[in-house]
Amino acid sequence: MSIVMTKQEAREFMVKYHMINTKNNLKGIDGIVHVFNRIQSIQYDPLNVVGTNSELVLQSRIDDFKKEMLESALYEERLLIDGWDKQMCIFQSKDYPQMTSIRKYRGDQEISSLKKFLKVDIMPYTGQVMEIIKDQGPIFSKDINIGDSIEHYWGNTKISKITLDYLFHIGKIGIHHKKNTMKAYDLIERLIHHHDQENDFDDEQSFSEYYLYRRIKSMGLVSNKNGVHFSSSHINQKKARTTYLKRLLEKNLITEIEIEGLKDKYYIVND
């Protein structure tokens, strides 16, 4: 059964849900964890005019936020991790095992793109790069020089840099720390101890249901229209999402919302 909202009620719901202009009294690392429990992930963007995207998202919600808090949560306490969600994001380390399918999808995409656009096979280099990281990690990309430099339409790229990106996307390595935008890599097992923990899914369908639920939770109130928020082959097709939405409704994990004056159905999590 649907819940009916006015447009104003929907606006107020979204403002409150996203903790904007509300008195949540969020502070410190606990405040950061609270925000991630709600919105799941924050998309990475290297642009920094008055702060990075992740810093601005947290600064607008946490009373005493300083960027050093985010760095601590990422690279000291390891409560958060850099990784692939709908795009390159920051999310909670505890969710890392759940994202195995996303890492596999990203790895397959990476290999396909490299062969198609750069005509390069990086697989012969992966073992060598892993050995260097095992012996010398944490290590910056600039300090690994293997293979040729490849020229393409957006600049020059080292084989070792491409290989690092691939190993990161499939979860063999992670970011130990950053120096400005430069990333120091290390083996993932040195960064989070539960990296190889089994996830909760019996099959790809059960993962897709979880992943769609996660995306709804991150946005608060969402329709079934296509968009970048539904990136990933698991949920980027409306027909498949319709099936998963029906199952989530049957499991009472989400609620259908009707907004007066709008024809689309919307969804919120029952959290």
229-265 pLDDT, tens per residue?
898 778 999 999 999 999 999 999 999 999 999 999 9
Please report the domains of the chain, with CATH numbers, ordered by start residue: 20-77 (no CATH), 98-191 (1.10.10), 204-269 (1.10.10.10)
Percentage of residues in the chain with pLDDT exceeding 90?
Answer: 76
The H-assigned helical ranges of the chain are 7-17, 28-39, 53-59, 67-75, 100-113, 123-136, 159-169, 188-191, 204-219, 238-250
Burial 9-23 (b: 16+ CB within 10 A, else e): ebeebeeebbbeeee
83-118 pLDDT, tens per residue?
999 889 999 999 999 999 999 999 999 999 888 888
Q: DSSP letters of 91-122?
A: EEGGGGGGGHHHHHHHHHHHHHHIIIII----
Q: Which of 125-129, 179-183, 209-213 has the lowest mean pLDDT?
A: 179-183
Percentage of residues in the chain with pLDDT exceeding 70?
Answer: 98
Q: Apex CA 29: angle with CA 27 and CA 35, to 5°?
A: 75
pLDDT given at position 153? 59
